[in-house]
Amino acid sequence: MSEKKDIRKVMEEEKRRGIRRRPLDTASAEQQARTRAKFLRAIIDYNEEDFIRAIGELGHLPGSPEYERMMGLWREHVRALRR
């Protein structure tokens, strides 16, 4: 991890000191950011395989209602852009 990211992580944790809240889960936040980036890249590149992988990382397996809903939205998006 780069030094800037380490510093940012420590600063975020230090900001929360003295405040009665749950501890900041920086690993989870970083994973969510990576997943969002994968979704964005799949949408920009019209890459269905990458989109399916990103859905899988969220735990939506083929055949599940949420998977089918997301794939329907994906296909509508691609169709609309290709018109």
Does residue 12 contact residue 27 with C-beta atoms inside 8 Å?
Answer: no
* Interval 34-56 mean pLDDT: 86
- Look up the pTM and report it: 0.59
Report the pLDDT averaged over residues 40-65. 87
- Alpha helices, H only, 17-64: 26-45, 48-57
What are the helix and strand counts (H, E) for the chain? 4, 0
Q: Give yes or no for residue 14 having a pLDDT over 60.
A: yes
Quick count: other Cβ atoms within 10 Å of Cβ 23? 7
Q: How far from 12 is each of 4, 5, 8, 15, 35, CA to CA, in Å? A: 12, 10, 6, 5, 21
pLDDT band at 65 (very low <50, low <70, confident <90, very high): very high
**Quick one: what percent of the chain has pLDDT higher than 90?**
17
Kindly tell me if the per-residue pLDDT of 71 is higher than 80. Answer: yes
